[in-house]
A and B are shown apart, each in its own frame.
Chain A
């Protein structure tokens, strides 16, 4: 459906504002029903636990870590509570 068709159905002639609202609607849809997803892969580094979430993320679908024995990405679980370990200077 074209932007013009959507504007005519909604009864508005302000294209710039209509486009901004359409982006808002797209954002709401992506936030709630995950209409289309993206994947970002990054390196895991020995001794580093903190990794940034994608800057353009609206809603998180899953986090997986690569199992190098069979080269498959497997979903990992979320910790609910704060871990007892606050810093690990010797991750072995």
Chain B
């Protein structure tokens, strides 16, 4: 039984691998009826040991990747969304029901949607059709779930695995504009114009930085020092 894992587990990175260690301090222990107990008169001191138990899905790694760089729709144009506690799912069916909730979704289908908040149907799906009261999906089925949970269904773009000129970059407008600068920098580099390349790369990083700082609205105020008045 793992406990206080933030204090008792450590990792080390080497090349493509993570090395996990458990930090032990004190005497030898053993498991008794699911409880870890300390053995008397056996002091080991502080040490690192290999993981000493099986934990299903115990290691969680959060990271960035080059997944879905191109999509079929711009993020800014995704507006369809529905929330409520009256949304239900049929067992083994392809239909989500919610009276009067789904009018924003495309009646012809083909949209990507994400469901969150349900007991057992959270995930990404593709719609086949939609009307005011229901959405029918394709290529998947739902698990039976009655209305009651606070569920949100919102539109997401589908990945475009074979991008063409009509595909969208899977970035917001500010980062798409930064990408324009990156392309200009590469074109300048091809022409051997290093000065212009450097200029556009600075513009690229400036826009990436602006995009990041747009998420952090911080207000700072400073009291005026009485000694500043002369």
Contacts and interface: CB of A to CB of B under 8 A. Distances in A.
Given A21-B183, A65-B5, A74-B5, A44 B61 contact: no
Given A46-B53, A79-B21, A65 B9 contact: yes
Contacts of A79: 10-12, 21, 48
Contacts, number: 266
A29 B57 contact: no
B225 interface: no
B218 interface: no
A63 B169 contact: no
Question: How big is the A interface, by class?
Answer: 35 or more
B interface secondary structure, majority? mixed
A35 to B, nearest CB: 7
Question: How big is the B interface, by class?
Answer: 35 or more
Interface string A27-66: 1111111111111111111111111111011111111111
Contacts of B177: 1, 9
A59 B63 contact: yes
B178 to A, nearest CB: 7
12 contacts: A6-B179, A11-B187, A22-B182, A26-B66, A27-B66, A28-B204, A30-B65, A40-B63, A44-B53, A46-B54, A51-B19, A57-B65
Interface of B: 1-6, 9-13, 16-22, 28-30, 47-67, 69-70, 74, 163-171, 173, 175-180, 182-184, 186-187, 204, 208, 211-212
